[in-house]
Amino acid sequence: MGKSSLWSAFFRRNRMGVFGLCVLAAMIIAAVFAPWVSPYDPLKINMLHRFLPPSLHHPLGTDDLGRDVLSRIIFGARVSLEVGIISTGIATGVGVFFGVIAGYKSGSATDNIIMRIMDVLLAFPAILLAIAIMATLGANMGNVMIAIGIVNIPVFARIARAAVIQVVPLEYVEASRASGASWPRSLMRDVLPNSLGPIIVQVSLTMASAILAEAALSFLGLGVQPPTPSWGSMLSSAQNYLTLAPWDAVFPGLAIFVAVFGLNLIGDGLRDALDPRARNPRAAMRAAERKSQPA
Amino acid sequence: MTRFLVGRLLAMIPVLLGVTLAVFGLIQLTPGDPAAAILGTQANPAALAALRHAMGLDLPAPIQYLNWLGNVLHGNLGESYRNHIAVAQLLADALPVTLELTIVSLIIAAIIGIPAGVIAAARRYTNTDYAMSAAALFGISIPGFWLGLLLILLFSLVLGWLPASGFTPMHDGLWANLKGMILPGFSVGIFSAGVLSRFVRAAMMEALEEDYVRTARAKGLGERVVTYRHAMKNAMIPTVTVLGLQVAFLLGGVVIIEQVFALPGIGQLSLQAIEARDYPIVQGATLLIGVAFVVVNLVVDLAYTAIDPRIRYGG
């Protein structure tokens, strides 16, 4: 399925997916316009206003240093989104690159070496590998992106490899090669566009898991360092004041949950749009009707 | 069967070697000198050089790797920089906690996830199904460590039913031990419950379309019998695999949740070690989990072939 028809199928059939897009849009707006939409400076410490419960002045309360929780969550969207986008970008770029090579040379030693390296990366639970990488590189935001990017490479390599293996023997690719297109050219023009669907689905799901992983690493103190507001590190400090200020623990977690939920909805919606039979019976029927109509 | 087994075992070796290479490489890349970490920053250069020589740190990296691998194969994972306790001993002490929590969360995931998936498929395209699917997505999206905090807030701090943290060894009372595992097990298991229920639903839907199900219906069997006896039996075969593969995610989740509930497992051990730059422990823990994961995958693979009569041993 081409890119444009994938998106139109997505919008026609999937209300929950559209809701997910709205969540993502809200997050992007919050991140981009953070300095203008947040009511307070997220770093401003005010020891006289510690642990204030939610009120009109501080809709989501204040934390242990008297900072406004809402403002910190809005600025935290920047961290989540940046890490989500860049680490997914690393994983997609590197994974697809090696997956395509392995797919083109499938069965060769190159293919074997690439895929065995992917197997080794997959031999650790993702978050543990990320923790180990963070322990090696040291805790800061750039390294968080690298660590989360690395652990997500194998999925993309596998998808790209499978897609290439599936498409390369097809007639139109063969025809384009026969008519003189070099293999990088035929790759860009004939192969990749036809593998885009599954990759796009995986991108949205990986972004969801990357945001979750960043929050987990920061929660463990291995990710984004204070005072930079990150949803995970906010939860980590709130953990010490659960009885005193439960709102400090509730709202940052809610932000993580909503962001991850939204991205998962987008991923699911795209997957359904790719395979109409997957979930919605009405969509499946419509697809069947269209197929039976004369072209 | 023997040939298949041997083949699978042999295929595991390069991956396991890769795992050891990755773990060794990670520590090599870590800045800092282990000898300095042991003797402290005030140590005199001669003592440092002597210790480096004694530890084999002055040898080329490939030789260091082979020496390290040889030690690992003999069960020697080195000793902690801080208190000079053998890493293998520290891991052995922490492992039961992590293992128990993993098993408890696997059980919780199965108890919630499998029936949810079966019911969703039995009532497909009804509101029950949609509600179940939404709940599954909730489970997949909720951060386990946040859920843990919410559960502590409600069940420990407000209601006072369950302990908020700490571990009671099993020999100090089974109930006290289990009470401490319920909240963490739930926090970790809910993700896998979501994954499982989605998978079971899909597998059931597929099974319900099969010829033998149509035959069963044609014989006049009720929909209940067809769903719960015929279709479910076959949908459970691939579910075993997914359940097994969840162990990896559970292990990852367990390590984080141990931190929330202050459980003295592998996760807490390695995080404390990371903070103290006690790298032999980090190295040992990462290696242990990587190897355990590869072995679990192998066992799942073998279990799958054993359960499904359609799979032939050979190729």
Interval A61-92: pLDDT, tens? 888 887 888 889 999 999 999 999 999 999 99
Q: For the ranges A251-260, B144-153, B287-296, which has the lowest average pLDDT? A: B287-296
Q: What is the pLDDT of chain B when averaged over all its residues?
A: 84
User: Which residues from chain A sit within 8 angstroms of residue B157, using beta carbons?
Assistant: 242-243
At B298 the three-state DSSP class reads: helix
Task: Identify the band that residue A4 occupies on the pLDDT scale cut at 50, 70 and 90.
Answer: low
Task: Reply yes or no on whether the pLDDT at A129 is more than 60.
Answer: yes
Most confident range, picked from B87-96, B236-245, B247-256: B87-96
In sequence order, which residues have a C-beta less than 8 Å from that of residue A281 and are 6 or more positions away?
B125
**CATH number, domain containing residue B175:** 1.10.3720.10
Q: Is B118 a domain residue?
A: yes
Using CA coordinates, name the residue in chain A closest to B165.
A239
Q: How far is A168 from chain B (nearest CA, A)?
A: 25
Give the C-alpha separation, B118 to B114, whole Å.
Answer: 6
A116–B260 C-beta distance less than 8 A: no
pLDDT digits (tens, 9 = 90+) for B8-63: 788 888 888 888 988 888 878 877 777 777 777 777 888 888 888 887 777 888 88
The mean pLDDT of B230-255, rounded to a whole number, is 81
Residue B152 sits in the same domain as residue B39: no
Of A131 and B308, the structure prediction assigns the larger pLDDT to A131
At A178 the three-state DSSP class reads: helix
Of A235, A152, A203, A238, the C-alpha closest to A24 is A203
Q: What is the pLDDT of chain A when averaged over all its residues?
A: 83
Q: Is B32 a domain residue?
A: yes
Residue A291 pLDDT: 45
Task: Reply yes or no on whether the pLDDT at A282 is more than 50.
Answer: no
Q: Is B87 a domain residue?
A: no
3-state helix, strand, coil in chain A (%, to 5): 75, 0, 25
Name the residue among B30, B260, B289 with its Cβ closest to that of A136: B30
HSE (side-chain half, CA atoms, 13 Å) at B148: 32
Residue B199 sits in the same domain as residue B263: yes
Task: Reply yes or no on whether the pLDDT at A283 is more than 50.
Answer: no
Q: For the ranges A90-104, A186-200, B194-208, B259-273, which has the lowest average pLDDT? A: A186-200
Task: Reply yes or no on whether the pLDDT at A31 is more than 50.
Answer: yes
Residue B217 sits in the same domain as residue B264: yes
Residue B68 sits in the same domain as residue B97: no
Of B234, B244, B235, the C-alpha closest to B301 is B244
Residue B313 pLDDT: 52
Q: Is B157 a domain residue?
A: yes
Task: Identify the band that residue B1 occupies on the pLDDT scale cut at 50, 70 and 90.
Answer: low
How many other CB atoms are found less than 10 A from the CB of residue A248? 26
Q: For the ranges A9-18, A111-120, A136-145, which has the lowest average pLDDT? A: A9-18
Interface of B with A in 237-256 (CB under 8 A): 248-249, 251-253, 255-256
Q: Is B204 on the interface with A (CB under 8 A)?
A: no
Residue A93 pLDDT: 95
Task: Identify the band that residue A145 occupies on the pLDDT scale cut at 50, 70 and 90.
Answer: very high
Task: Reply yes or no on whether the pLDDT at B6 is more than 70.
Answer: yes
pLDDT digits (tens, 9 = 90+) for B57-73: 778 888 888 988 988 88
Residue A44 pLDDT: 82
Task: Reply yes or no on whether the pLDDT at A255 is more than 50.
Answer: yes
Q: Is B79 a domain residue?
A: no
A82 exposed, middle or buried (CB, 10 Å; 0-12, 13-18, 19+)? middle
The mean pLDDT of B105-122, rounded to a whole number, is 91
Of A80 and A185, the structure prediction assigns the larger pLDDT to A80
Count how many domains chain B has: 2
Of A201, A258, A207, the C-alpha closest to A19 is A258
A133–B18 C-beta distance less than 8 A: no
Q: Is B85 a domain residue?
A: no
pLDDT digits (tens, 9 = 90+) for B174-225: 787 888 888 999 999 999 999 999 989 988 888 888 888 888 888 878 778 8
Q: Is B83 a domain residue?
A: no
Q: How far is B81 from chain A (nearest CA, A)?
A: 16
Hey, what long-range contacts does A232-235 have (CB within 8 A, 24 or more apart)?
Answer: A232/A256, A234/A63, A234/A69, A234/A72, A234/A73, A234/A76, A235/B145, A235/B146, A235/B149
Of B315, B281, B307, the C-alpha closest to B90 is B281
Give the C-alpha separation, B93 to B90, whole Å.
Answer: 5
Residue B102 sits in the same domain as residue B12: no
Domain range for B284 is: 93-307
pLDDT digits (tens, 9 = 90+) for A238-250: 888 888 888 888 9
Residue A83 pLDDT: 94
pTM listed for this prediction: 0.86
CB A75 within 8 A of CB A60: no
Residue A284 pLDDT: 46
Q: Is B186 a domain residue?
A: yes
- The token pair at A94 is 């590197």
B143–A216 C-beta distance less than 8 A: yes
Name the residue among B19, B133, B282 with its Cβ closest to that of A120: B19
* Boundary residue ending a domain (B44, B73, B102): B73
Q: Letter for the amino acid at A62?
A: T
Of B158 and A101, the structure prediction assigns the larger pLDDT to A101
The ipTM, to two decimals, is 0.84
Task: Reply yes or no on whether the pLDDT at A170 is more than 80.
Answer: no
Residue A3 pLDDT: 56
Give the C-alpha separation, A46 to A226, whole Å.
Answer: 16
User: Which residues from chain B sit within 8 angstroms of residue A116, using beta carbons?
Assistant: 14-15, 18
Residue A88 pLDDT: 96
Residue B132 sits in the same domain as residue B65: no
- The token pair at B144 is 């386990």
The mean pLDDT of A116-121, rounded to a whole number, is 88
**Residues of chain B above pLDDT 90, percent:** 21
Residue B240 pLDDT: 79
Residue A25 pLDDT: 92
- The token pair at B161 is 């039913």
Residue B218 sits in the same domain as residue B167: yes
Q: What is the DSSP string of A206-244?
A: HHHHHHHHHHHHHHTTSSSPTTS--HHHHHHHHGGGTTT
Burial letters for A14-38: b for 16+ Cβ neighbours within 10 Å, e otherwise? bebbeebbebbeebeebbeebeeeb
Residue A224 pLDDT: 87
Alpha-carbon separation of residue A241 from A235, A247, B251, B271 (angstroms): 10, 10, 27, 21
User: Which residues from chain B sit within 8 angstroms of residue A127, using beta carbons?
Assistant: 252-253, 255-256
Residue B309 pLDDT: 62
HSE (side-chain half, CA atoms, 13 Å) at A85: 9
- Positive/negative CA dihedral, B148, B149, B151, B156: positive
Residue A211 pLDDT: 94
Residue B180 sits in the same domain as residue B45: no
Task: Identify the band that residue B91 occupies on the pLDDT scale cut at 50, 70 and 90.
Answer: very high
Name the residue among B150, B153, B289 with its Cβ closest to that of A125: B289
Residue A293 pLDDT: 46
Name the residue among A126, A132, A261 with its Cβ closest to that of B26: A132
Residue B183 sits in the same domain as residue B57: no
Residue B216 sits in the same domain as residue B130: yes
Angle at A206 between CA A204 and CA A211, to 5 degrees: 100
Name the residue among A120, A136, A216 with its Cβ closest to that of B29: A136
Residue B55 sits in the same domain as residue B107: no
Of A185, A208, A197, the C-alpha closest to A91 is A208
Give the C-alpha separation, A42 to A247, whole Å.
Answer: 16
- The token pair at B220 is 């006049």
Residue B105 sits in the same domain as residue B6: no
Task: Identify the band that residue A2 occupies on the pLDDT scale cut at 50, 70 and 90.
Answer: low
